[in-house]
Amino acid sequence: MVIRQVKLTNFRSHESFVLQCNPQTTTIIGENGCGKTSILEAIYETLQGKSFRAVDREIVRRGAEFYRVELEYEDGRKVVAVYDVAQGKKEFLAEDKRSRRLPKKVKYPIVLFEPDDLHLVGSSSVSRRNYFDRVFGQLSEKYSEALLRYNKALRQRNELLKDEGVRQEDLFSWDVLLTRHGAELAEGRRRFVDEINERFTEVYRSIAENEDEVLLSYESLVGSESESLARLGRDFERDRLLGHTGYGVHRDNYEFIFNGAGADGSASRGEVRSSVLALKFIEADMVVSVLGRKPVVLLDDVFSELDEKRQRCLVKNFQSNQIVLTAVSGQYDSANCVVLE
């Protein structure tokens, strides 16, 4: 599936903007702060049903009453996302049907590459967890639903813990939901990490051109559903004093292992970038394998962070995908680019 054009109205800094997309590569250039990333965000919104950066009320152009994004495919089909400020409500229009959430059959897979991804190895456990949740959620609707339900139960439990009069039995129903959906998430994470590790070293070596061995480690202290339910009960007093839930898969961690040792602090800058590139290539292959579609690739100002060898590798591996990328002025011939002032 190829995107023909995207229209933005009151989307962040864009009062009105139209992007005509090339079937192969569309390059958007401009100085920092001119709204390049917002265009990728709008594409992501209409393909995946949500932003990768913020909630809707933060996206609306200042002073506007709504935002609207219209994405048109090459075959003429359209997907429209509209957010109304007064109602605080977002709707999607696709295939002549309106819905509050983008239907699964309308979603289209994306591989998103941001500059922060290149710092994934040394980032916080929260950042790594959020990154892999986004990747795994796209690959599995079951995983995505479990994540939504787990986070909802976690928010509700934490709100109750802030009530001085809360009793342990008041939390039981939320504890059950946390353990049930937490077990689903842990199972999905282990399965996807195992799949990544089957190819991680091979793909990494093809980029780094060395014989290093790389591994993605998934660490979780959560046990079976019965063990987790008992642990939440035992931790009630501690959680009540702290005002939040200290046990669960929301504390899980991922770690990159280079030649048997933790990569954070031991891997060079080039090795880190090669490992992240390898992850992106594996992610794209997993999308094709699981979903049967070649993902649209969104590259947000990542070429400036990569040396020439890794730039060539990135272009080569995604040459059969439709790519929309952003870059700062001066990196590309402006005659063949969309230039933002």
Taking only the tens place, the pLDDT of each residue in 272-292 is: 899 999 999 999 999 999 999
221-236 pLDDT, tens digit per residue, is 898 999 999 999 999 9
CA–CA separation, 229 and 215 (whole Å): 31
255-266 pLDDT, tens digit per residue, is 999 988 888 767
Which of the four pLDDT bands, split at 50, 70 and 90, describes residue 1? low
What is the pLDDT, as a whole number, of residue 173?
96
Which of the four pLDDT bands, split at 50, 70 and 90, describes residue 336? low
Q: Which CATH number fits domain 1-108+295-341: 2.40.30.10, 3.80.10.10, 3.40.50.300, 3.40.640.10?
A: 3.40.50.300
Could you tell me the residue ranges of all domains in the chain?
Answer: 1-108+295-341
Q: Which of 268, 167, 282, 174 is nearest to 229 (CA)?
A: 174
296-300 and 323-327 beta bridge pairing: parallel
pLDDT at 159 over 70: yes
Angle between helices 269-291 and 172-197 (to 10 degrees): 100
Residues above pLDDT 90, as percent of the chain: 83
185-198 pLDDT, tens digit per residue, is 999 999 999 999 99
Residues 324, 332 contacting (CB under 8 angstroms): no
CA–CA separation, 265 and 59 (whole Å): 36
Q: What residues does 299 pair with on adjacent strands?
A: 113, 325
Give the range among 72-76, 119-123, 135-139 with minimum mean pLDDT: 119-123
Give the range among 100-109, 154-163, 261-270 with minimum mean pLDDT: 261-270
CA–CA separation, 318 and 316 (whole Å): 6
What is the pLDDT, as a whole number, of residue 276?
93
Query: How high does pLDDT run on average in the chain?
Result: 93
Which of the four pLDDT bands, split at 50, 70 and 90, describes residue 328? confident
What is the pLDDT, as a whole number, of residue 95?
87
pLDDT at 67 over 70: yes
| Mean pLDDT to the nearest integer, 139-155 | 96
pLDDT at 217 over 90: yes
pTM for the complete prediction?
0.91
| Mean pLDDT to the nearest integer, 3-20 | 97
pLDDT at 341 over 70: no
What is the pLDDT, as a whole number, of residue 269?
86
Q: Which of 153, 174, 41, 46 is nearest to 101 (CA)?
A: 46
CA–CA separation, 172 and 43 (whole Å): 41
pLDDT at 331 over 70: no
Which of the four pLDDT bands, split at 50, 70 and 90, describes residue 330? low
